[in-house]
Chain A
Amino acid sequence: MATLEFKLPDIGEGVTEGEMVQWLVKAGDSVNQDQPLAEVMTDKATVEIPSPTKGTVKELKVKPGDVIKVGATMLVIETGGAGATAVPAKEAPKTTAPAPQAAKTAASTPATKSAPPSNGSNGHNDVYPPVAASHVLASPGTRRLARESGVDINNLKGSGPIGRVTRDDVAKGGGGGLETHSSGTPTKAPGMSIPRAPYQGPQGAVEERVPMRGIRRKIAEKMQLSKHIIPHFSLVDEANVTSLVALREGLKVKAEKSGVKVTYLPFLMKAMIATMREFPKFNASIDDAAEEIVYKKYFNLGFAADTDNGLVVPVIKNADQKSILEISREIVELSGKARANKLAPDDMKGGTISITNIGSIGGAFATPIINHPEVAILGMYKITDRLFLEKDGKVGSVKVMNLSITADHRLIDGAEAARFLKAFIERLENPGVLMLDLV
């Protein structure tokens, strides 16, 4: 009789060991393929380990309470055939979003290789959604749909034949819902599983249906993704921008001579960059797949632009290395392209933080949505004249701008946002200070 040494399989991202909770079989039991053998607890969840084969349990190698390393033998199973083998589990049981497959390098043979490549990656493996694991059944078109919808297909339970994931499963974000394993621990994955609710108007009501396409659909997807992933919070304050207004008025004429219209936006961008250097968390992203914070050493500032088609966010790349005049010129150029619907994908890519200027239209303040994977967005609002009680008791007049900072609470706490906004406002109120920040 052949025996099989069954080893603890790789049961999830970053998991190297688990604690044996209880055996679900004992020596002498006959087991079927995929029958749960044991419950193992990791620092993430309790998982059931399925049998890789049909056979008879010969020996249990660990007891409840033992800590087992991934790759260590758990039990010995007697199978029908001849010879002895040692295999890891057929596939890792699902707990968390499946670990990115370890980079698998090429076979030694220089000739053709027909084996399915794990994911064709020999380097870092940091894409989201992750590529489909080998056991996932879905057509190439369905896999692409899942990727484009930001759905991790590894977390979907397929409703099709033999567990095939269908387009409907992706659309519903999981058909029968996100797959949960028997221990009942919810899956952690940030895969979007937002129900697509139908709408049915009252009978006879005059309504028009227009397909949700192009920029509108993209905006819907991006906003939903951002709101789904990011716990938002906002903080509002006001800045006395009297000196900034004077400064800009003074420079405006000069700039116009060189053919550039200078708005307040480039000044705010410069103040933002200086403040972000002080608070690097605001110029960062969260890599959910790797559970890492990515601090960016470059400053690409997006600004929300309103167009007939909807909202777009062109990006001023490396704004820290550009003068106010250069930034102004680029804003005019990008805004023009945005209105003409001529922005290239690259014009909107790579932003590290965004600014939304609602002041040009109106409103006291808003609660903007962060442009994921950025972690903060600054709102700037209308400048108004306000009466102001000066130190000597006289009534004066100042120019005031409302400002908001909206941040990703996973990374940035309220106090930190408050400090950021304070430091930012100090720069705006004393624009001369910006000279100190000049690189």
Chain B
Amino acid sequence: MLNYDVCVIGSGPGGYVAAIRSAQLGLKTCVIEREKLGGVCLNVGCIPSKAMITASHFYHRLGHDAETMGIKVGKVSLDMGTLVEWKQSVCDRMSNGVNQLLKGNSADIIFGDATFESKTVLVVKSKEKTEKIQAKSFVIATGSRPIEIPGFKFDEKTVMSSTGALDLKELPKKLAVIGGGYIGLEIAGYLSKLGTEVTVLEANKDVLFGSADKECVQVVVRKIKKQGVKILTEAKAKSFVKKGSGVEVTVEVGGKEEKIEADKILVTVGRKPNSDEMNLKGIGLELDERGFIKVNPKRQTNLPGIYAIGDIAGQPMLAHKASHEGVLVAEVIAGKNRAYDVKTVPAVIFTDPEIASAGMTEDECKAKGFTDLKIAKFPFAANGRAVSMMETDGFIKMIANAKNNLVLGVHIVGPEASNLISEAALAIEMGATLEDIALTIHPHPTLGEAMMEGAEATLGHAIHIIQKPLRDRTPSALGI
């Protein structure tokens, strides 16, 4: 029997952070991992997909923008083998980093499959041995996995989940993507740039349905279609048959059946919590109707001494939410009064252009009873840096409470949206007003200026766009 103060199960962005913080606080800590350190995020999720997206964007620009800038590159070709190797080196480097951080903080790493034998004893089985672990506190951070749909069982060869798609050694000629959520669109986007002919099948009336601002989505849809990706909406994938070396997918679109040929199928219809594992129900852990472990704001479960964080503890299933909870739960265990008390979890979609948001959408504001809103957009086409980068698609949209100019939501579609959104998240957490952003000097020439101008535009008087013909040009009429 091994004894620990804290035993973290799962070493993803929630688990490893919880383990490091616990160890920092002087608690005897171990972390259990059944595959690779870093979990889905570092190995088959966020990090490898971003490596592929960066490479494909680079490749695409060489073929499209370089010549305009006077750079003659001749014929550009892709060596998929080298690309995949490089992508893997990125993942390995991150995973090794986690290993070093855990060791450097004296947290023990135990590889194996974990199951609760009782509320207080965890059994970890690996090929070599079986170990029993007793801990004063357990943190469940075992994440989620891709959802399978009937008729499309994952074999990761013909029918792939995101895991299989990220591990493709050869580029498929034709790919059918079932599910136009953010994972599907990110993968569709980069494979299409590398040369795959992609068809996206989305059951809803729009891709990224309900997960991003509608106007932001329009910008992405326009661009991805131009890039050659076909999008079928209100399309239900029914079944598929093998045909030659590929497949033929039967799709129901508007009551009619259509056949789509492809080499491979990617199913990205969402993820579900891994709560059917580890005998969680057996020890009496309460789950909600969607299979998430029920937790309170301290991330305590119904069982004393057992905590849950990350994807398995509820939406949004995002790495940065998990990491925030990882720190929080370790400090709760160390006796600090902490609770999940945030105003917003920013979200980023790495399409081209990127979409990023913090705070509420217009619909969400209205549902919350904010009826009197100020909303405006500032286009990247009016931003010097964006023009000089040749990346002018998109805008920053701000939503504020008209009563006091409190920033309620910021939605960005455009270059580096993912890096710009943090300012908006800080603004919302701090309870900033439009004036607070507009009166902060933003350096020139940067994309960040668009944030400042977005705030100005929402106040009604941006400098670099013409908002309306002004009859009364007095400060009071302008609200200045």
- Tell me the A residues contacting B by CB distance below 8 Å: 33, 52-54, 79, 87-91, 103, 105-117, 119-127, 131-132, 134, 137-140, 143-144, 147-148, 150, 161-162, 164, 344-346, 348-349
A-B contacts, 29 listed (Cβ < 8 Å): A53-B372, A88-B369, A90-B368, A103-B288, A105-B290, A106-B315, A110-B317, A112-B212, A112-B316, A112-B348, A113-B211, A113-B345, A115-B364, A116-B345, A119-B339, A120-B342, A123-B286, A123-B295, A123-B296, A125-B296, A131-B341, A138-B431, A140-B341, A140-B429, A147-B338, A148-B337, A162-B406, A344-B26, A346-B335
Q: Is the Cβ of A346 less than 8 Å from the Cβ of B5?
A: yes
Residue B147, interface by CB 8 Å = yes
Number of interface residues of B (CB under 8 A): 76
In the complex, whether B452 has a CB less than 8 A from a CB of chain A is no
Residues B295 and A127 in contact, CB atoms below 8 Å apart: no
Q: Which one of B294, B404, B405, B429 lies within 8 Å of A123 (CB-CB)? A: B294
In Å, the complex CA distance between A263 and B430 comes to: 55
A110-B181, A114-B359, A115-B361 known; A123+B371 contact, CB < 8 A: no
Main secondary structure of the interface of B (DSSP, over half): loop
- Which one of B7-15, B86-94, B297-305, B454-462 is at the interface? B297-305
Which residues on the A side are within 8 Å of B25 (C-beta)?
345
Residues in chain B near residue A90, CB distance under 8 A = 368-371
Smallest distance from the beta carbon of A303 to chain B beta carbons, Å? 18
CB-based nearest B residue for A34: B403
Q: Are B210 and A114 in contact (CB under 8 A)?
A: no
Asked, given contacts A112-B182, A114-B212, whether A123 binds B302 with beta carbons under 8 Å apart, the answer is yes
Residue of A nearest to B289 (CB): A105
How far apart sit A164 and B405, CA to CA, in the bound complex (Å)?
A: 13
- Which B residues lie within 8 Å of A121 (CB)? 295-297, 340
Contacts of B160 in A (CB 8 A): none
User: In the assembly, what is the distance between CA of A348 and CA of B286, in Å?
Assistant: 28
B447 at the interface (CB under 8 A from A): no
Which among A79, A114, A124, A349 is the interface contact of B360 at CB below 8 angstroms? Answer: A114
Which chain A residue has the least Cβ–Cβ distance from B301?
A: A123
Given A110-B270, A111-B182, A122:B210 Cβ within 8 A: no
Separation of A119 and B295 alpha carbons in the complex (Å): 11
Q: Are B337 and A147 in contact (CB under 8 A)?
A: yes
Q: Given the interface contacts A105-B289, A120-B297, does A161 sit within 8 Å of B433 by beta carbon? A: yes
Whole-angstrom CA separation of A321 from B23 in the bound complex? 30
- The yes or no answer to B336 lying at the interface (CB within 8 A) is yes
Let me know if B209 is at the binding interface, CB within 8 A: yes
**B323 touches A (CB below 8 Å):** no
Q: In the assembled complex, which residues on chain B have CB atoms less than 8 Å from the CB atom of A344?
A: 5, 26-27
CB contacts (< 8 Å) of A103 on chain B: these are 288, 294
**Cβ contacts under 8 Å, A87 to chain B:** 369, 371
B371 closest partner in A (C-beta): A53
B404-416 contact mask (Cβ, 8 Å, vs A): 1 or 0? 1110010100000
The answer to whether B339 touches A131, judged by C-beta atoms less than 8 angstroms apart, is yes
Q: Measured between alpha carbons, how far is A133 from B280 in the docked complex, in Å?
A: 32
Task: Determine if B347 and A106 form an interchain contact, defined as CB atoms under 8 angstroms apart.
Answer: no
Produce 1/0 per residue, B400-440, CB < 8 A to A: 00011110010100000000000000000111010000000
Instruction: Provide the bound-state CA to CA distance between A160 and B431, in Å.
Output: 10
Sample of 11 more A-B contacts, CB < 8 Å, known A88-B369, A109-B181: A33-B371, A33-B403, A87-B369, A105-B315, A109-B211, A122-B292, A123-B293, A124-B302, A161-B433, A162-B404, A345-B25
Q: For residue B431, which residue of chain A has the nearest CB?
A: A137
Q: Which of B208, B292, B340, B409 contacts A131 (CB 8 A)?
A: B340
Q: Which of A90, A106, A113, A138 neighbours the largest number of chain B CB atoms within 10 Å of its CB? A: A113
**By the criterion CB–CB under 8 Å, are B346 and A127 in contact?**
no
With A and B bound together, what is the CA distance between A132 and B343 in angstroms?
9
CA A87 to CA B181, docked complex, whole Å: 30
B429: which A residues are within 8 A, CB to CB? Answer: 139-140
Name the A residues within 8 Å of B5 (CB-CB): 344, 346
Contact at A345–B334, with CB atoms within 8 Å? yes
With CB as the reference atom, state the residue of chain B lying closest to A138: B431
Are B334's CB and A127's CB within 8 A? no
List of B residues within 8 angstroms of A144 by Cβ: 338, 341
Pair A117/B345 contact, Cβ less than 8 Å:
yes
| In the bound complex, CA of A403 to CA of B136 (Å) | 34
Residue B51 is within 8 A (CB to CB) of chain A in the complex: no
- Dominant SS at the A interface? loop
Residue ID in chain B nearest A119 by CB atoms: B297
Q: Which residues of B contact A (CB under 8 A)?
A: 5, 25-27, 136, 147, 181-183, 208-212, 269-271, 286, 288-290, 292-298, 301-302, 313-318, 321, 325, 333-349, 357-361, 364, 368-372, 403-406, 409, 411, 429-431, 433
Query: Would you give the shortest CB distance from A134 to chain B, in whole angstroms?
Result: 7
Roughly how many angstroms separate A148 CA and B321 CA in the complex, as a whole number? 22
Using CB atoms, name the residue of chain A closest to B211: A111
- Residues of chain B within 8 A (CB-CB) of A91 are 369
Knowing A139-B429, A162-B404, the reply to whether A112 touches B369 (Cβ < 8 A) is no
Residues of A within 8 A of B315 (CB): 105-107, 113, 117
B298 touches A114 (CB 8 A): no
| List of 7 A-B pairs having minimum Cβ-Cβ separation, nearest first | A110-B270, A123-B294, A106-B315, A90-B369, A137-B431, A111-B211, A345-B335
Q: Which residues of B contact A139 (CB under 8 A)?
A: 429-431
Chain B residue with Cβ nearest A164: B431
- CB < 8 Å neighbour of B209 from A109, A113, A124, A348: A109
Complex CA–CA separation, A139 to B182 (angstroms): 30
Min CB–CB distance B315 → chain A (angstroms):
3
Kindly list chain B residues whose C-beta atoms are within 8 Å of the C-beta of A122: 288, 292, 294-295, 313-314
Of A88, A106, A147, which contacts B341 at CB under 8 A? A147
Chain A residues contacting B270 (CB-CB under 8 Å) are: 109-111
CA distance A263 to B147 in the complex (A): 61
Are B371 and A52 in contact, with the CB atoms below 8 A? Answer: yes
Bound form: Cα–Cα A110–B369 in Å:
25
A161-B436 Cα distance, complex, nearest whole Å: 11
The CB with the most chain A CB atoms within 10 A, among B286, B344, B411, B431, is that of: B431
Q: How far is the CB of B436 from chain A (nearest CB, A)?
A: 9
Q: In the complex, what residue of chain A is closest to B336 when comparing beta carbons? A: A148
Q: Across the interface, which residues of B come within 8 angstroms of A54, CB to CB?
A: 372
Query: A47 → chain B, closest Cβ, in Å?
Result: 17
B289: chain A residues at CB < 8 Å are 105
- For B365, give the chain A residue with the smallest CB separation: A115
Q: List residues of chain A with CB within 8 A of the CB of B337.
A: 147-148, 150
* Closest B residue, CB atoms, query A349: B335
Is A33 within 8 A of B372, CB to CB? Answer: yes
Nearest Cβ in chain A — how far from B212, in angstroms? 7
Given A119-B297, A127-B296, A89 and B369 contact (CB-CB distance below 8 Å): yes
A residues in contact with B411, CB < 8 Å: 114
Q: Which B residues lie within 8 Å of A132 (CB)?
A: 341, 343
- Known contacts A126-B296, A147-B339, A147-B341: A106-B430 contact under CB 8 Å: no
Q: Complex Cα distance A125/B369, Å?
A: 24
A134 to B431, CA, bound (A): 11
Q: How far is the CA of A138 from the CA of B343 in the complex (A)?
A: 10
Cα of A105 to Cα of B211 in the assembled complex, Å? 15
Q: Which residues of A contact B369 (CB under 8 A)?
A: 52, 87-91
> How far, in Å, is B41 (CB) from chain A's closest CB?
14
B341 touches A112 (CB 8 A): no
Q: Are B181 and A131 interface neighbours, CB within 8 A?
A: no
Residues of A within 8 A of B343 (CB): 116, 132, 134
- Contact call B290/A114, Cβ cutoff below 8 A: no
CB contacts (< 8 Å) of B336 on chain A: these are 148
Contact (A119, B210) CB under 8 Å given A53-B371, A90-B370: no
Residue in B316, B357, B368 whose Cβ sees the most chain A Cβ within 10 Å: B316
